[in-house]
Amino acid sequence: MHLPSTRTLQAFVATARLGSLAAASASVAMSVPALSRRLAGLERELGVRLLERVPRGVVLTSAGDDYLAHAVAVLDRLQAAAAELKRDAAVVRVTTIPAFATRWLLPRLPAFSARHPGIEVDVRTSIAFERLDDGQYDFAIRLALDHEMATDPLLPIHLLPVWSAAHPRAITCPEDVLRHQLLGPDHRPEFWQEWLRGVELEGQAARPRAIDALLLYEQTLSGAGVAIGIEPLISGLLRDGRLHALTAHRQRSARSFFLVGPAETRSRAARLFRAWLWSEAQG
């Protein structure tokens, strides 16, 4: 037995509910003769009478009443599935570390939303490198060593000391930095080590105070000390003049931010977000 098409089920449900071929034909945008043929074909395929013609329209038989419940359930489930797919296709799920989300990604998202108002970007933060193969996320933006990754970095990292614009003492060379309290992200002590090595001060006694990564630059702005600046996370603060930096001695880190995702993105929304993200990173 051939399964009826959704169009046929819609025609039957409309006729059963409205009790009139004329009213049902208008509801499903089908002529009365075409509707009659569909209903007759459905009854012939099932081998039972679903509808009885009466002077004022049509009424359901007992078999038709039973079949109506199944037809409605099928159409409802198909409609719910289509709505869920449409909703999912318009959502891009991204996981990244908190500092990247707050300092770089979230300030830029309004521009993406203005360009693509029908797409929602759901950003979740985590220090752990979340798996992507279970379909929970479309992309991960993660910090990694360049030599461990097989793809080009989304955003290379440069390191440089930064301090509050209200800092009372001048800092003009790398040696000056060591005269101040050094601040660094608590989970990334290697950043200060990288910079000191790059400016040939690795052997100096430097003991950075570990600060929660989300609060590092707030502490720096308050005048607590000199932090290791991570470009691109500090770009906005430098541009606004809230932080000053030893820009002549910026050092390229061995780490970068990488965009990680499946080889083929699952939706048009994800493809649009990926293209926009690369454009933002390169611009």
Do 244 and 166 reside in the same domain of the chain?
yes
Q: Which of 88, 112, 138 is the last residue of a domain?
A: 88
Instruction: Give residue 78's pLDDT.
Output: 86
Statement: residue 88 has pLDDT above 60: no
Do 82 and 95 reside in the same domain of the chain?
no
Statement: residue 130 has pLDDT above 80: no
Do 187 and 264 reside in the same domain of the chain?
no
How much is the average pLDDT of 64-70?
Answer: 91
Q: What is the DSSP letter of 244?
A: E
Instruction: Give residue 84's pLDDT.
Output: 62
The residues that bridge with 125 in the sheet, in sequence order, are: 96
What is the rounded CA–CA span in Å between residue 4 and residue 17?
18
What is the rounded CA–CA span in Å between residue 62 and residue 67?
9
Do 146 and 185 reside in the same domain of the chain?
no
Instruction: Give residue 182's pLDDT.
Output: 95
Instruction: Give residue 83's pLDDT.
Output: 63
Do 161 and 144 reside in the same domain of the chain?
no
Instruction: Give residue 119's pLDDT.
Output: 93
Statement: residue 87 has pLDDT above 60: no
| Buried-exposed string 118-156: b where 16+ CB fall within 10 A, e elsewhere | ebebebebeeeebebeeeebbbbbbbbeeeeeeeebbbe
How much is the average pLDDT of 54-62?
Answer: 89
CATH number of domain containing 236: 3.40.190.10
Asked whether residue 1 is domain-assigned, the answer is no
Q: pLDDT averaged over the chain?
A: 89
What is the rounded CA–CA span in Å between residue 61 and residue 67?
10
Which three-class secondary structure state does DSSP give residue 61? coil
Which of these, 99, 103, 259, lies nearest to 185 by C-alpha position? 99
Asked whether residue 68 is domain-assigned, the answer is yes
Identify the band that residue 127 occupies on the pLDDT scale cut at 50, 70 and 90. confident
Burial class (CB in 10 A: 0-12, 13-18, 19+), 263: exposed
Measured in Å, how far apart are the chain's first and last C-alpha atoms? 59
Inter-residue contact 171 to 180 (CB < 8 Å): yes
Instruction: Give residue 86's pLDDT.
Output: 58
What is the count of structural domains for the chain?
Answer: 3
For the chain, how many helices (H) and strands (E)? 11, 11
- Beta carbons within 10 angstroms of residue 31's beta carbon: 11
Do 80 and 12 reside in the same domain of the chain?
yes
Cα dihedral value 131, 132, 134, 138, nearest 10: 140
pTM, rounded to two decimals: 0.67
The structure tokens 């989970």 sit at 187
Q: Which two tokens stand for residue 88?
A: 């999912």
Identify the band that residue 176 occupies on the pLDDT scale cut at 50, 70 and 90. very high
Inter-residue contact 272 to 163 (CB < 8 Å): no
Q: Which two tokens stand for residue 254?
A: 């061995």
Percent share of the chain, pLDDT over 70: 93
Statement: residue 237 has pLDDT above 90: yes
Range(s) of the domain holding residue 55: 6-88
Instruction: Give residue 276's pLDDT.
Output: 96
DSSP state string for 178-191: TTS-EEEETT-THH
